[in-house]
Amino acid sequence: MPTVMTNDTVRLPLLTFRLGEGRYALLIEDVVEVAAMVDMLSLPTERTEILGYINRRGSILPLVDLRRVFKQPSAPITSATVFIVAAGGNKQFGLVVDAVEQVEYVDALQMSDTLASSPYLHGIISHQNDMISIIALPSLMELAQ
C-alpha cells in the first residue's frame, strides 16, 4: 500500500467518488483509469451486480454497478456515466459510479474497520468533516468473476 509520510503521519492516497449521497474511495494503487461509458454487451449472469461487459483496449472487462452492490436505487446508464477501471493482481474490471471527485491524501490512523458494515468495505475514514467508505477491492474482484 503506497503511503506518504508527513510529520510522522501516514497518508493514504485515495481516489474519491460519489455514489448516491455517499462518498467512497479506492486506493490509488488499485486504479488504472477513469473512463466515460462505452458500448456494453449485456449477457445473462447470476450476478445482478454485473451490468455487462466492455472491450477496453482489447480486453473484455466486467462492469460492476456499485449502486447494486450497496443496495442503492438504480440510476440510468447514459453516455455521461463514468466508471473506474480497477486492477488487483492481473485482473481488471470496471466500477460504475455516479461521479469521480479527486485524489485525496488521508490520515491512515483515522480509518476504522469496525464501522465497515459490508464485506465490500475495507473501512471508513473521517476526512475534512466527511465520512469516506473505503472499497475492499478483493471482495469486489470475487463478484466480478
pLDDT, residue 30, reads 95
Please list, in sequence order, all residues whose beta carbon lies within 8 angstroms of the beta carbon of residue 71, skipping any fewer than 6 positions away: none
pLDDT, residue 140, reads 85
- From residue 84, how far is each of 40, 43, 113, 126 by CA, in Å? 15, 20, 23, 23
pLDDT, residue 5, reads 52
pLDDT, residue 51, reads 92
- From residue 122, how far is each of 47, 112, 125, 137 by CA, in Å? 21, 9, 10, 8
pLDDT, residue 2, reads 56
For the segment(s) 4-144, the CATH number from 3.90.1010.10, 2.40.50.180, 3.30.300.30, 3.30.70.270 is 2.40.50.180
Q: Which residues of the chain have pLDDT under 50?
A: none
% of the chain residues with pLDDT over 70? 92
Gap between the Cα atoms of 23 and 30, Å rounded: 17
